[in-house]
Every structure is written in structure tokens, then in C-alpha cells.
Chains A and B, each alone.
Chain A
């Protein structure tokens, strides 16, 4: 126990910098996947059969295969198959590859939630906008969007909380996120080796961060209680 207290400051420092990487991946994924998901949702709702089928095919592939495999493919495919290692070997290259894999994966999940949200807004809302002479664009942004957001906050919240924990998968391509940082103390890191507790200790980071995320999302949900 005394040993743990001695190790604590070093471990916390290393875990903190791992967690920064986790947070970065989390934020970049959300920033990318929110808009890309909407685009994909429009694709799968398209009246042009070819676009809608192609989009649904992509969604099937992305949702049907493990995110871990997708990470490996995005990271290794350019170098191993195309002989053009665009990511380079460094941490920033790994981060970029991980971000792309995460954004693609999450935008496909988001797109299905968006699609459900858009379709759940009664068609009468669109028709009311049309007979008032609004453009389809105006109707989407001024009528449909907020009603859709209200409906999708609970399911999106689920995905966001899952994403916080899914970022751990990025260590498969050696991205130095928090679990990677915790695990490093088993093999040896910062002069400490054979310590397994830092790995377990990472759970607190996830737990506290997800607590904050939950509070924020609940607030957002309440904010939209003013209409039905």
C-alpha cells in the first residue's frame, strides 16, 4: 500500500497525459461524426435509389465489422497494401488514423439515429412548411431539425457514453491513450514495472468523465422540455 502511494504521483501524471489523448480522440470523433452522420442520413433517405442503396451498403459494412478491425485496416492498409505509409510512424499519425476510423464508424451509427429522428417528425410539419412557401432547406433548419434533436438526444447520449469507453480500442494501433498508459506500468514505464493497479485505476477516469457527460446530456434534454 505504501508503495502505491509512492508510485501515485508518477502514475497519475502518466495517466493524465494518456487521458488527454483519450479526450482528444473523443472530441475529434464527435466533431467529425455529428455532421458526417447527418450527411450519411440524408444519403440513406435519398429518393435516388442508387445513393440510398450505396449508403446503406456502407452502413452495413461499418456497423457489421468490429471497430478494432476498422482501426487496423485504416492504419495498416496504406502502408502494407498500397506501399504508401501515409500516416508515418509517430503518435500524431496514429492519432489521425484513429480519428478517421472512429469518425467513420460513429457517423454510421449516428446516421441511423438521425434517420429515425427525421422520420419520426410528422410529415404534417413538412407539409405545413411547404404550404407556407418555405423551401425544403428552410423547413429542415427551422422546423424539422430541433424536433429531430429533441427526439435523438436519449439514443445519441448512449452512443456518446459508449464512445468514451471505445476510445480505448485505439491502443491496438499503439495510440497512447489512458489504458495504454496504465498498461505500460506492467511492462515498465517511468521507472515503475510490474504494477497492475494503474490499469485498474484508469476506470475512475472513465467513470468520472462519463458522470460529467451524463449530467450535461441530461441538462440538454431538459432544455428541450419546453415543447412537445
Chain B
């Protein structure tokens, strides 16, 4: 059974149709890479999944549970959107760590606030801390936990941002060009962490311009063009034998 089903997502900004009916589904443990040129709607799609944008039409289902249905106004309630967001995690291109908190505090902030809301902070605080420390171990930054974001390199900041998303245990973790703001030297460490996550069967959607990485880590690739899905399939198939002329053009540009 699919963990994520997306049907006919459309989104218009002003009079520009950014998403022209997107359909896809994702199985648990699958890694989906979305590639395509800038302005093709990749980021908007991720933002729709994370409820940062509201699609004009379409249905989003997670574990067969309808999170969003444009024809059902009850799925648009602001009060419920917060809970629905937690099915998804999002790692931003520009990290967006909170500068006034240490790396560790950044990771612990959301679960701590959630625990306080349930009046369970005292009971859960040790557990939250232990989980956060364990995540820092996983991302290889145990020695930098108490640094502030501005004291970390871009690659380190992005790894902290990944830990911050992971601690909430989202069903689907989304990455929006996670390495595009990094020096080429620093992309490797971030990609390595993402690769580890895929090895542990995390379900992920990765919007990326790193074609080699997409080919390596993805179980499924979508090529988006002009707000629609131009072609999709297994990475080897899509990268080696693209069926659409547009895909071929795009890939040639990257391979040359």
C-alpha cells in the first residue's frame, strides 16, 4: 500500500500556473528524487505537501488517510493543518536554523514545545535530550552540539537541520535542494547523511540538482518540466534511456 498518494495537484500564483496537475505515489521506504530545471514547480510541490502552500485542486493522502482534498473544505481547517504537517518533514535549501539556539537546542525545540503543550515536559525531557544526542551521533556532529549555527559550516548546519526534522519522526522526509546553497566541498557530507537515511528505509522525497546523487540514492525519479511531470521511472531507465525529448535535453545539459 502506498504511504503517499498525490492526485491532480494544481497551483496558480496570480495568473501563472505553477503546478498543472501532479499525480504520483510513493511506497514506504522508497526514495523519490524530483529533478528538473528551476521554475519547473519542484519546490512548490514540496511546499504543497508540507502545507506551506494550499493547492488549488487535488488530493493528498498519507497511509490512506485524506490529509487534503480541495473539494472537502473540512480538510482545510487551520487547526488541523498543524497536525497534518507532522506527517512530513522538510529540510530547506537555506537550512533555516534558529540562530539564537545552539545546534542541540535547535533539534530539541519542537519536541520540547510539543511536550510542554501536553504538560508532559518533565516526563519527556530526558527522552527528548537522549534522542537528540543520538541524532547528533548519527549525523557525525556529537562534538558540535553546543555550537551556535553561525559557528558551523553550511554543511554542518544542513546536517543539524536534518536532525531537527528527524526528531519528529515524520512519515515522509522532504528535501528542497539540500545542497544548492553549499560549497561543492561541503555537499558530500550532507549527501552522505541522506544516503544513510535511505539505507535505513526512511521514506524520502528529494528535490535536487545533483544528478549523480539522484541516480545513486533514488528508487524512483520524476522529471518535472513547466509545472507538470514530464517523465518518471526507475533511475537507471530514466537517466540512461529517457523517453521524452525534453528529458534528454535536460540530462544532456547536466552530463556535459
Contact = CB atoms under 8 A, between A and B. Distances in A.
Contact of B99 (A138, A142, A227): A227
B2 interface: no
Contact of A132 (B94, B109, B148): B109
Residue from A133, A138, A146, A227 with most neighbouring chain B CB atoms (10 Å): A133
Contacts of A134: 110, 113
Looking at B51, B89, B110, B168, the one whose CB has the most chain A CB atoms below 10 A away is B110
Given A125-B98, A227-B99, A227-B100, A131 B50 contact: yes
A228 interface: yes
Nearest to B114: A133
B175 interface: no
B170 to A, nearest CB: 9
Chain A interface size, under 10 / 10 to 19 / 20 to 34 / 35 or more: 20 to 34
How extensive is the interface on chain B, given as a class? 20 to 34
Interface in A130-159: 130-135, 138, 142-143, 146-147, 150
A124 B82 CA distance: 17
Contact of A124 (B86, B89, B92, B150): B92
Interface of B: 50-52, 82-83, 85-86, 88-90, 92, 94, 96-100, 109-110, 113-114, 148-150, 164-165, 168
Closest 4 CB pairs of A and B: A132-B110, A128-B96, A124-B96, A228-B150
Contacts of A138: 113
B85 A130 contact: yes
Contact of B85 (A124, A133, A226, A228): A133
Nearest to B110: A132
